[in-house]
Structure 1
Amino acid sequence: MDRIRAYIKPSQSSEERKLVQKIDFFILTFCCLSYFCNYLDRSNLTNAYVSGMSEDLGFKGNQLTQINTIFTCGYIVGQIPSNLALYYIRPRIFFPSMMTVWAALTMITSSAHKPEHIMAIRFFQGIAESTTFVGTHYILGSWYTAEELGKRSGIFTASGLAGTMFGGFIQSGIQKSLHNKAGLTGWRWLFIIDGLITIPVALYGFLLFPNTPSTTTAPYLSATERALAVSRVPEVKKRAPLSLAFVKRVLSSFYLYAFVILWIIAGETESFSSNSLLALYMKAHPTQKYTIAQLNNYPTGVPAVGIVSTLFWATLTDVLGGKRYLVGYWIGITGIVTSALILARFESTATVFAAYYWAGSVYACQATFFAWANDALRYEEDMLRAVVVAAMNMGSNVFNAWWSIVFYSADFAPRFTVSGMWAMIGCSIALAVWTTVLLFWTVRVDRKQAVRGDDSSASGIAERGRRRDDSIADKDEIVTDRV
């Protein structure tokens, strides 16, 4: 109960509470709207596919899966370069610029006349969208303390799931109101409207995104608040150019391998949801035919479950003092049970629906595992944290690029049981095992830091508190822009 009371009403000064409220508003609104648009654009490819695009463009075999794989390849290419760009280029410029590019590419998709056109567009769209997820987790780790990070990561992740959920409803509405208007079918209007929705969010970012604590020039933050923001988090070392020595440090760091392996395994436990298996199952159902509205609306229950699960676990692990590893065990149980249900009761449509809905709770790992990485790397070199966070998502997408084709190709619908369910069971067991390994390693690292008297020790915390008090007291101190 003491932990819950402390979480609900933290012991912060009025100045710090005001600062957190400001950065919550300006950072979370932009990042969440950005991720909402990101996932709206992504998920609506499947919505368009089941709403007439497959017939209009003459899709064959597993071409939808190939398009998703090509998008993933572009996404992989952009991961680490995008996060390093955020380290050198103002996020207020870089984030919205990439949003503008992917909005334009989304609208161009409406003019496609064959699947190969979409393949080319989606590759470059993957590059443009690559900064959103890992870039935001880097920014969140730059502004928020360990006690604040989980819930903010959860809210951010939930916004992407909301984009997935609302995409189905938007397609249903467009199909009713705009289909065949101005000579365009409903799925083409979908991509045009998606792009138009994204543009105002990008403009908002250009105007008001605050960059990082050490580089912010946001007009809504006073000099005192900027100093307080810097004092709340570990001091950032002076920016330095990339060097061979840094590359060696990265490649020799166990942080890199520990968290990349974690997210490779965890990313594949999301396969039921990320590959839209419920929508494909419905479209290829052996006995029942669903309407376009049903094909778009029923699968929205999956991200809805994901939103609830993400917010629940992100908040709970904050309340429990950062025990992010608990989610690894929940996902292990979920993956095994839902796969077993589909294998054993495939003839029961209700059971298959229930299993796919439950599998949506696996999305909770996005917020909690990236928060875990930010927590663990909080006192390491800032550029190392940027690379590790980006490498986590890159590693996962490298596997996902071929994993989806091998186990969850669209032409495997409706069963996906040849090997997909067994692959999920194997991933779930592996995740539980690796979570345990990582838990013991991070506990040992924390103990070593405490013995050395690092910032995580009592003396380090006291020193950070002294820096904060000094910064607040110095009303005239101005944190200059060092980008």
Structure 2
Amino acid sequence: MEKPIEKSSDFDQGQSPLGSEKRLENGAPVTVLDIPDPDEGLSEEERRHIDRKLLWKLDLKLIPWLTLLYLIAFLDRTNIGNAKIDGLQEDLKLTNNQYNNSLTIFFISYSVFEPVTQVLLKKLKPSIFLPVIMLLWGVSMTCMGLVHNYSGLMATRWFLGLAEAGLFPGVNYYLSCWYRRSEFGIRAAIFFSAAALAGSFGGLLAAAIENMDGLGGKRGWAWIFILEGLFTVIISFLSFFMVHDFPDDAKFLTDDDRRRVIRRLKLDQQSSAEHEEFKMEYFWASLKDWKTWTGMLIYMGCDGALYAFSLFLPTIIAQMGYKSVHAQLLSVPPYAVAAVVTIFIGFLADRTGWRGYCNMAMALFGIAGFAMLLGSGSPHIQYAGTFLGAIGIYPCVPNTISWAANNIEGVYKRGISLGFIIGWGNLNGIRLILAQGIVSSNIYRAQDKPRYKPGHAVVLAYEALFLLGGSVLQHILLRRENAKRRNGERDHWAEGKSEAEIEKLGDKRPDFIYTL
């Protein structure tokens, strides 16, 4: 029998020590463990050593391959921007509206199917679900290089969005089922930094592939799609062996390690690693939770800016006076800087628990960057603005997801909420349908070049109103709720309930303290 340890000062960030027993504010004990402790009798130093080894094992098994998958996914969804400046629009005889429609249709299928994919991921298991959807989007990407007209491009982009819909929300939910709340942010940041690396790598790769122009009767832009699509298919087959299931099923864990993983999550007030049957009440619980809606607001601000930036950065740079290959290469440095800052912010937010403050600070960089793009006609100032814009966008995406995952507890509820948050972000507020298509893919219009003032103004507004404003709002609401819980104003939620019933309250537990 373990000796109960008094609640530590780290409890607010979910960092309770192994072997601890939590208590409600009224002093009633809440037993969080019903799993044998494989390290019973060991000293705290020995426990910490075992915990570090376990964490390192999880990182090596999970993070590198999943990051590779997202690098490929982001490369595949945004390489149309590189293809455009290599002649895609002219060769397919697309009008400006038709090109924008080909961007828009991806986000429609991608966004609509994201909430559904979280349930499929849990039911089919990650080792099956993720490789299958990757195979499907690899085939769709390859077919994009074989199209000859507008309708073919629209069809392939629709299926690309449908197939990719499960990866980003799915992997973020999956990782949140392996790590403590205070450990998740840096892993999500490393995973998402692949998006910035894809921007860098995409520019270099596109510049190289353009030299294949004319080979096999195909233009350079077609080879971008074909080669990247075939590479995706190859990686999808390898993923059947490289992607692992949830902790209660993962084959690379020993029985003792499986107990350790699930125990450390339960001590962190999480139950997401355990099996649970889907019920519609989880769907409605997600919709009724105000944190789902504030998360959607914040994510709309950073994701709308993200796609506007990534889809049109090569075009923006080209309009500064730089030509095809040179423009592709100049798109690399802003992404590289963004990748480094993304990982740093993930580390900082984990250590401090200040996810909201990190969002606010980064949003200010983004606002400054797009103000420079909007206000200056100098290519040098505009190029500097792209660096600040990237810094203000990329770190906020994984940080916002981590913030939501930290504060929404429950096996299916968290997954469904992340699906809604990410799906809504990708629809950019479902759009302001009055403005022609999904916003981020349509605000940089050909008639507005070379300055693209309406596009820069819209992104600036998204950063200021939704990302910055939404983060301030959610931070204030979470702080107020934490104060009520510490003052015992929520203790009545647990009165008369068994230990199992209290645990199932998830983030409604009176002792669940939100990450700010």
1-structure distance, mates of 2:427, 2:276: 29
Report the CA distance shift for 1:410/1:161 in structure 2 as closer, same or farther (over 3 A): farther
Cross-structure match for 1:239: 276
Which of 163, 169, 172 is equivalent to 1:137? 172
Query: Does the alignment pair 1:197 with 2:226?
Result: no
State the percentage of identical aligned residues. 24
Query: Does the alignment pair 1:367 with 2:398?
Result: yes
**Aligned Cα root-mean-square deviation (Å):** 2.5
Q: After superposition, give the CA deviation of every residue in 1:128-168 in whole Å (9 maximum; x if it has no partner).
A: 00111111110111001122111101100011221221111
Cross-structure match for 1:88: 123
Q: After superposition, give the CA deviation of every residue in 1:21-55 in whole Å (9 maximum; x if it has no partner).
A: 22212211221111011011122111111112222
Which of 222, 241, 250 is equivalent to 1:188? 222
2-structure distance, mates of 1:453, 1:319: 29
- The one-letter code matched in structure 1 to 2:241 is L
- The one-letter code matched in structure 1 to 2:230 is L
2-structure distance, mates of 1:301, 1:384: 39
2-structure distance, mates of 1:424, 1:40: 22
- Once the two structures are TM-superposed, the CA of residue 337 in structure 1 deviates from its matched residue by 1.9
2-structure distance, mates of 1:241, 1:149: 24
Is 2:92–2:150's contact at 8 Å kept on the other side of the alignment?
Answer: yes
Q: After superposition, give the CA deviation of every residue in 1:236-287 in whole Å (9 maximum; x if it has no partner).
A: 46522332x33332222112212111211232333552332x32123345xx
SS of alignment partner, residue 241 of structure 1: coil
SS of alignment partner, residue 13 of structure 1: helix
2-structure distance, mates of 1:422, 1:198: 35
2-structure distance, mates of 1:420, 1:50: 18
Show the 5 A alignment for 1:162-311: 162-176=197-211, 178-216=212-250, 218=251, 220-233=252-265, 234-236=270-272, 238-243=275-280, 245-270=281-306, 272-276=308-312, 278-285=313-320, 288=321, 290-311=322-343
Is 1:376–1:442's contact at 8 Å kept on the other side of the alignment?
Answer: no
- Once the two structures are TM-superposed, the CA of residue 221 in structure 1 deviates from its matched residue by 1.6
2-structure distance, mates of 1:318, 1:343: 34
2-structure distance, mates of 1:210, 1:238: 15
1-structure distance, mates of 2:334, 2:48: 40
- The one-letter code matched in structure 1 to 2:194 is S
Show the 5 A alignment for 1:65-144: 65-144=100-179
Report the CA distance shift for 1:231/1:200 in structure 2 as closer, same or farther (over 3 A): farther
1-structure distance, mates of 2:64, 2:491: 37
- The one-letter code matched in structure 2 to 1:304 is A
Q: After superposition, give the CA deviation of every residue in 1:202-258 in whole Å (9 maximum; x if it has no partner).
A: 223211322111232x1x321111111111212346522332x33332222112212
Cross-structure match for 1:333: 364
- Once the two structures are TM-superposed, the CA of residue 375 in structure 1 deviates from its matched residue by 0.9
2-structure distance, mates of 1:168, 1:421: 21
- Once the two structures are TM-superposed, the CA of residue 447 in structure 1 deviates from its matched residue by 4.3
SS of alignment partner, residue 235 of structure 1: coil
Is 2:70–2:195's contact at 8 Å kept on the other side of the alignment?
Answer: yes
Query: Does the alignment pair 1:350 with 2:380?
Result: yes
Give the number of aligned pairs.
437
SS of alignment partner, residue 112 of structure 1: coil
Is 1:140–1:149's contact at 8 Å kept on the other side of the alignment?
Answer: yes
- Once the two structures are TM-superposed, the CA of residue 448 in structure 1 deviates from its matched residue by 4.6
SS of alignment partner, residue 182 of structure 1: helix
Higher mean alpha-carbon deviation, 366-375 vs 179-188, is at: 179-188
SS of alignment partner, residue 108 of structure 1: helix
Query: Does the alignment pair 1:315 with 2:344?
Result: no
More helix by share: 1
SS of alignment partner, residue 15 of structure 1: helix
Is 1:62–1:411's contact at 8 Å kept on the other side of the alignment?
Answer: no
Which of 143, 149, 152 is equivalent to 2:184? 149
- The one-letter code matched in structure 1 to 2:387 is Y
Higher mean alpha-carbon deviation, 207-216 vs 311-320, is at: 207-216
Is 2:117–2:166's contact at 8 Å kept on the other side of the alignment?
Answer: yes
Is 1:168–1:296's contact at 8 Å kept on the other side of the alignment?
Answer: yes
Please list every run of 5 or more consecutive structure 2 residues that lacks an aligned counterpart in the other structure: 1-9, 16-43, 432-436, 493-498, 504-516
- Once the two structures are TM-superposed, the CA of residue 405 in structure 1 deviates from its matched residue by 5.2
1-structure distance, mates of 2:384, 2:348: 24
Report the CA distance shift for 1:423/1:22 in structure 2 as closer, same or farther (over 3 A): same
SS of alignment partner, residue 96 of structure 2: coil
Report the CA distance shift for 1:226/1:204 in structure 2 as closer, same or farther (over 3 A): farther
Q: After superposition, give the CA deviation of every residue in 1:418-461 in whole Å (9 maximum; x if it has no partner).
A: x333333332332323212211222233445554689xxxxx9x
TM-score w.r.t. length of structure 1: 0.84
Which of 448, 456, 479 is equivalent to 1:443? 479
Please list every run of 5 or more consecutive structure 1 residues that lacks an aligned counterpart in the other structure: 455-459, 465-483
- Once the two structures are TM-superposed, the CA of residue 84 in structure 1 deviates from its matched residue by 1.3
2-structure distance, mates of 1:406, 1:189: 25
SS of alignment partner, residue 239 of structure 1: coil
